[in-house]
């Protein structure tokens, strides 16, 4: 699909594929985060260890991205992230019209995924992106910048540059996003000052904010998405 001409039919197929793919990627990512951050319905519930939540959430995003990129790669390219779409446009992998079309579809898919997860799973929505762990705005900016650059680099080298192992690109992309989530989760993708079920007299030893999940996953914003999103 990335190599097909930018006709109305191809653009519509690309938009629909990116919408469905972004929805599925973020649905499972958000759902995993919601489950990790929602305690049992008991007043004396024991908080989950931070490390367990961290790995659970990172796996939810990484595995969801890998599975859905693999499923949609031959349909739309499996971008799922405005940053990735813009990067491919800059290297000549996407025409201008299709770039705009798929970015709109990605945003709509992310919004739809968040809405469905909020409706299906109990408790308040615990997926969002804020600074945490004492990270300043500048630190958060550069952390996200470097990790997003790594993800985009992996995508371009494994998927955009064709080679014998291109069919395995979704594995590398999913692993790259998993690693990005592990690194960034504690500093740039935290949410609340305490766990929803944490004892107020037992402060979080890792800082004022507790990681819960990202709207982007990746990615921007996926990101971080992000974004949004391969």
Residue in the block written with tokens 């996200």 = 144
Question: What does each C-alpha distance from 127 to 18, 22, 192, 215 come to in angstroms?
Answer: 21, 16, 10, 6
Residue in the block written with tokens 């949410």 = 191
d(CA 87, CA 105): 17
CA-nearest of 65, 57, 62, 73 to 22 is 65
Give the model's confidence band at 39: pLDDT under 50 very low, under 70 low, under 90 confident, else very high. low
pLDDT at residue 201 in the model: 42
Model pTM?
Answer: 0.65
Pair 83, 94: CB distance under 8 Å: no
Both tokens assigned to 42: 């008991």
Across residues 115-138, what is the average pLDDT?
85
Give the model's confidence band at 218: pLDDT under 50 very low, under 70 low, under 90 confident, else very high. very low
Across residues 30-45, what is the average pLDDT?
64
Helix, coil or strand: residue 115? helix
Residues 6+ apart with CB under 8 A from 94: 2, 77, 85, 88, 102
d(CA 42, CA 108): 36
Residues 6+ apart with CB under 8 A from 126: 33, 34, 37, 38, 191, 192, 196, 212, 213
Residue 124 CB neighbours (<10 A): 11
d(CA 192, CA 203): 12
> Which CATH fold would you assign to the domain 8-211?
Glycerol uptake facilitator protein (1.20.1080)
**pLDDT per position as a tens digit, 133-157:** 677 889 889 888 888 888 898 888 8
Pair 56, 62: CB distance under 8 Å: no
Q: Where are the domains of the chain?
A: 8-211
Pair 212, 6: CB distance under 8 Å: no
Across residues 218-227, what is the average pLDDT?
39
Give the model's confidence band at 100: pLDDT under 50 very low, under 70 low, under 90 confident, else very high. very high
Pair 29, 217: CB distance under 8 Å: yes
**pLDDT per position as a tens digit, 163-185:** 888 888 899 999 989 988 877 76
Residues 6+ apart with CB under 8 A from 12: none
**pLDDT per position as a tens digit, 12-21:** 888 898 898 7
Residues 6+ apart with CB under 8 A from 142: none
């Amino acid at each position: 699909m990335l190599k097909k001409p930018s006709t109305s039919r191809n653009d519509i197929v690309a938009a629909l594929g990116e919408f469905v793919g972004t929805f599925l990627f973020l649905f499972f990512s958000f759902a995993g985060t919601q489950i990790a951050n929602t305690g049992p319905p008991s007043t004396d519930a024991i908080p989950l260890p931070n490390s367990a939540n961290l790995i659970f959430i990172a796996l939810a995003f990484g595995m969801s991205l890998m599975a859905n990129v693999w499923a949609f790669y031959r349909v739309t390219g499996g971008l799922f992230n405005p940053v990735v779409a813009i990067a491919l446009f800059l290297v000549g992998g996407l025409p201008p019209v299709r770039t705009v079309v798929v970015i709109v579809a990605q945003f709509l898919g992310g919004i739809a995924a968040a809405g469905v997860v909020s409706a299906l799973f109990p408790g308040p929505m615990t997926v969002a992106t804020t600074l945490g762990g004492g990270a300043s705005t500048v630190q958060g900016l550069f952390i996200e910048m470097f990790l997003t650059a790594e993800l985009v680099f992996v995508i371009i080298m494994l998927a955009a540059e064709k080679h014998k192992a291109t069919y395995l690109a979704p594995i590398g992309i999913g692993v790259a996003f998993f690693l990005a989530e592990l690194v960034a989760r504690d500093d740039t993708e935290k949410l609340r000052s305490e766990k929803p079920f944490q004892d107020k007299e037992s402060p979080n030893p890792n800082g004022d904010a507790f990681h819960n999940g990202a709207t982007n996953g990746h990615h921007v914003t996926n990101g971080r998405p992000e974004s949004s999103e391969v």
